[in-house]
Amino acid sequence: MIRKHGTPSSVVSALNIAPADRNRVLAEARVRRKEAEFLASKRCARCWFSTTNGSCCCICSRLPALRFTTNTRFIIYQHNIELFNCGDDAKLLLCAAEDRTGLYVYGKEGDEERMVDEVFKNGGLERTLLLFPDDRALTVEGVREGYVEKYCRSTAIDGFSAIERGMSEVALHENGFVKEPLQIMVVDGTWRQVKAMVKELDRMIEKNFPSLPPLTHVKLLPDTLSVYARTQSQQDRICTIEALALFLKECGEADFVTNELIQYVKINNENLRPNKKEKGRNTVAANLKPG
């Protein structure tokens, strides 16, 4: 009997696939199955909610594109389990910042290579930060001068963004206000999943670019309760979009942008509640008190 999550491990074993490659093969099969099911369903390509179900339908009209004031670009490195999951929050960047967001799936054939190609296309490792709180991660203060001040605020003119001053994209480049952006990479999945993903990503970069310094990791110190609709394993853990919003705030992003990002998570949570109620499950976010 074929499992829901793709090719059964027994089939993989029968194909004489090396044990080290089995997880990859299973993940690729899962991604193919999910993509086929998604294409056959009537669901939105951005928010992943149904376009026909009135109780839990597309929310894109409530999530307009935001006008960012910092010179930033976002890379989502997403575990395949989260792909097309309506409850996932990282996919909200596809609505808030579609023109400056790349989504790459862990386990999708070729996606890790495409993600690394994008990193180098937009300035390389020296312009890229990975939000991940491990032992080697620097604090925001530790990357402020070398990254944030140097790259992230390059569109600022006398305290106002160049875009707000009405400068065209061509003029921005000609006047030197826009160069390659600061790339902010977020890893999307459970804590156990993202630890494995980051370890594999670092290993891949070290293997393919041995002469370059490793990807810089950054950690946040959140002091607010998560608004996310899932139980966090630790009280100070926050969801992907919340972490990004906090970091952007430290980078000098406008409050209206960072506040809206958090609001988008709440909107996504609210849209999940009818579906969860029908299944007899409680929504964690409904019971959270304001922080």
Name the E strands within 162-223: 182-188, 216-218
Assign residue 124 a region (left: φ > 0; alpha: ψ between -120 and 50; beta: otherwise): left
Q: What are the extents of the domains in the chain?
A: 9-40, 60-287
How crowded is residue 290: how many other Cβ atoms within 10 Å of its Cβ?
6
Residues 6+ positions from 90 with CB-CB distance below 8 Å: 76, 78, 82, 103, 186, 188, 240, 241
Question: What pLDDT does 273 receive?
Answer: 78
Contact 116, 142 (CB under 8 A): no
Question: What pLDDT does 144 receive?
Answer: 86
Q: Which helix (H) or strand (E) holds 104?
A: strand 101-106
Distance from CA of residue 46 to its chain's centroid? 13
| C-alpha span between 128 and 122 (Å, rounded) | 9
Question: What pLDDT does 8 receive?
Answer: 55
Which residues are 79's β-sheet partners? 106
What would the two tokens of residue 135 be? 């032992």
Is residue 118 exposed (0-12), middle (13-18) or buried (19+ Cβ within 10 Å)?
Answer: middle
Angle ∠(272,278,283) on CA atoms, nearest 5: 45
Residue of 267, 236, 215 whose CA lies nearest to 95: 267
Contact 179, 154 (CB under 8 A): yes
- 269 SS3 class: helix
Question: What pLDDT does 72 receive?
Answer: 94
Parallel, antiparallel, or unpaired for β 128-131 and 156-157?
A: unpaired
Q: pLDDT tens for the chain, 291 residues: list them.
A: 334 445 555 555 545 677 768 888 899 999 999 999 999 998 999 999 998 866 678 999 999 999 999 999 999 999 999 999 999 999 999 999 999 999 999 999 999 999 999 999 988 999 999 999 999 999 988 998 888 888 886 444 444 454 445 554 455 555 555 567 899 999 999 999 999 999 999 999 999 999 999 999 999 876 544 554 444 445 456 889 999 999 999 888 999 999 999 999 999 999 987 655 444 443 333 333 333
Contact 222, 235 (CB under 8 A): no
